[in-house]
Chains A and B, each alone.
Chain A
Amino acid sequence: MKALPISFLARARIYSKRLTWQLVALLIMISIVLTGCRLRSRVGNATITIAGSTSVQPFIELLAEEYARSYPDRPAVNVQGGGSSAGGRAVLTEVAQIGMLSRQPEGPEQELTVIPVAYDALAVVVNPQNPISALSSNKIRAIFSGAVAQWSELDQTKGRIHIVSREEGSGTRAAFDSLIMANADVAARAIVQDSNGAVREIVAHDPHAIGYISLGLVNHRVKAIQVDKVQPTQANCRAGKYTLVRPFLFVVKEPLDAASQEFIDFVLSEYGQKLLAEHGLVAVNSNS
């Protein structure tokens, strides 16, 4: 009755050495097959997956919720973070249909189709207790490169300047590097945080801190300063007066499926753009 398992086991014992290797091989095969399945099921699935920049993520999440409310019959939109580079990689490997970038595409990402969905301004923020309310972009560069290390070099405030920056590779950091730092490096002693929220949190608590975050995320707990005498506001961005502006981009792989195209159309629609503007971004078509 139980002849089969016994004989199997007998053989297993005899070939136990070989069995070990077969097991290892089997495990490797299973893991490869599982990875393959995952890729295929994502693309074949009815949901739209969007991944990428954590700067863009909260705004697109908001639009995805609104999209689900407005069009309950259409495929659900699943928004994930991970960062600009992860977003580009996800689209290239077809794990996601749409990637979100908060910087210009680089390397292999340049093969992808780029769709600007909004513009975001970078605000340089200090603690509300700090008397400084305006700095030139040269002064900001001097502060972040470490050339100016004490607040007393700028006004009567005492104390060492605590620079708060973002990690290498972050879209916000890349935008700040190209818009303000030019060829200079952000000082190595700068405190590095991995999100806009964390930077805002530090600046809100530390009277000696200075950092930079998305204009849309500035609130009463931090003070956005004038850069080159221009107040960071949506109106000034649209008028082209405030220059610390970066694009929020979608990247997609052609040919794009109809469901993803419908969501992109929604984001670019007058209503979608109006929602983004209400949350502090600057619309791509400046008439809305």
Chain B
Amino acid sequence: MLDQEKWAETVLTVVGLSAVAILGLIILFIFKEGLPAFTQVGLWQFLTGTDWLPSKGKLGILPMIAGSFMVTAGALLIGLPLGLGCAIYLSEFATPRTAALLKPTIELLAGIPSVVFGFIGLTLIVPFIRVFFGGPGFSVLASSLVLGIMILPTMVSVSYDALRAVPLTYREGMLALGASEWQTVKMVVLPAARPGILAAAILAMGRAVGETMAVIMVAGNSAIVPGSVLDPVRTMTSNIALEMGYATGLHRQALFATGVVLFVIISVLNIVARAVVRRK
């Protein structure tokens, strides 16, 4: 009995450590491949340069940093209110039967491959924007719409769980005091579930920043800082995925360096967001 216990412990330790080891190896590899580009181009020049023409030796990723931020912000602007609203409805207002039907349907969204979202964006959203708003259609707006829908399942299920975790007695107490259902939600349930909702937003943001395939298909991938939401845009992940297959030498290192920048940005965002959650 005892040695079985210890075996289990050892095996699980190995499994657990291997996940950490893989992460460590990935970080090591990306930094090893990417750091030469920083020393060759210059960190500041690399981060603030607005021209990305690797064949001419111009390696500035400011357009891609701006692109990632704009597209992610747009996706959150669309996905957060929709997702939170949906979660509130499911948790507070829907009858159990409706909720039992809707929740799995929304979670099914998470199972759709990103290339399918990209294809829908390409065949529906891009032409729609081109015809009704002008421009090429491939734009910040198209990417934000596609990503906004893609982050819905994360946003809905995590914030739904947070809302459900608020004890029923809180609601009962509020209702007993004569508050309406919406007042209860606004004044008691939402504040109590705030850390969980923030966690949902963080996860959704991570998904939006990291998504590559769908964005490549609808963003247009121009290496410019977009002047409006109808301008094409290139994100950091798209930049890496688009050009990695063909890149050699400094160009390849610059793509890994883009990965390093992305890694640092995501880590910082996560640390900040976690600190916010913990402070409540």
Give A residues with C-beta under 8 Å from B: 2, 5-6, 9, 12-13, 20, 23-24, 27-28, 31, 54, 81-86, 88-89, 106-107, 160, 162, 167-171, 174, 177, 185, 188-194, 201-202, 205-206, 208-209
Residue of B nearest to A177 (CB): B55
Do A167 and B243 touch (CB < 8 A)? yes
Given contacts A9-B6, A107-B249, contact A23 B220 (CB under 8 A): no
7 closest pairs, A vs B, by CB? Answer: A169-B246, A83-B245, A83-B246, A192-B221, A191-B220, A162-B136, A167-B242
Which of the residues B21, B25, B222, B245 comes within 8 Å of A190, measured between beta carbons? B222
Given contacts A23-B21, A31-B25, A192-B222, contact A6 B3 (CB under 8 A): yes
Is B18 an interface residue when CB atoms closer than 8 A count as contact?
Answer: yes
Within 8 A of A (CB), among B192-228: 216, 220-224
Is B17 an interface residue when CB atoms closer than 8 A count as contact?
Answer: yes
Residue pairs across A and B with Cβ atoms less than 8 A apart, 25 shown, are A5-B7, A6-B3, A13-B6, A23-B18, A24-B17, A27-B22, A83-B245, A85-B245, A85-B248, A88-B248, A167-B243, A168-B54, A168-B55, A168-B243, A185-B53, A188-B52, A191-B136, A191-B220, A191-B222, A192-B221, A192-B222, A192-B234, A192-B242, A194-B216, A194-B221
Do A169 and B247 touch (CB < 8 A)? yes
Residue of A nearest to B252 (CB): A85
Do A189 and B232 touch (CB < 8 A)? yes
Min distance, Cβ A257 to any Cβ of chain B, angstroms: 25
Do B51 and A188 touch (CB < 8 A)? yes
Do A169 and B55 touch (CB < 8 A)? yes
Do A194 and B3 touch (CB < 8 A)? no
Interface footprint category on B: 35 or more
Do A85 and B130 touch (CB < 8 A)? no
Within 8 A of A (CB), among B223-266: 223-224, 231-232, 234, 242-243, 245-249, 251-252
Do A206 and B136 touch (CB < 8 A)? yes
Residues from chain A with a CB closer than 8 A to the CB of B231 are 189
Do A81 and B245 touch (CB < 8 A)? yes
Do A106 and B248 touch (CB < 8 A)? yes
Do B137 and A206 touch (CB < 8 A)? yes
Residues from chain A with a CB closer than 8 A to the CB of B127 are 205
Within 8 A of A (CB), among B77-135: 122, 127, 130, 135
Do B53 and A168 touch (CB < 8 A)? yes
Min distance, Cβ A214 to any Cβ of chain B, angstroms: 16
Do A185 and B56 touch (CB < 8 A)? yes
Residues from chain B with a CB closer than 8 A to the CB of A205 are 127
Report how far A24 CA is from B14 CA in the complex, Å. 9
Within 8 A of A (CB), among B36-56: 51-56
Report how far A27 CA is from B16 CA in the complex, Å. 12
Given contacts A5-B7, A85-B247, contact A174 B55 (CB under 8 A): yes
Residues from chain B with a CB closer than 8 A to the CB of A194 are 216, 221, 242
Residue of B nearest to A106 (CB): B248
Do A168 and B220 touch (CB < 8 A)? no
Is B160 an interface residue when CB atoms closer than 8 A count as contact?
Answer: no
Do A191 and B221 touch (CB < 8 A)? yes
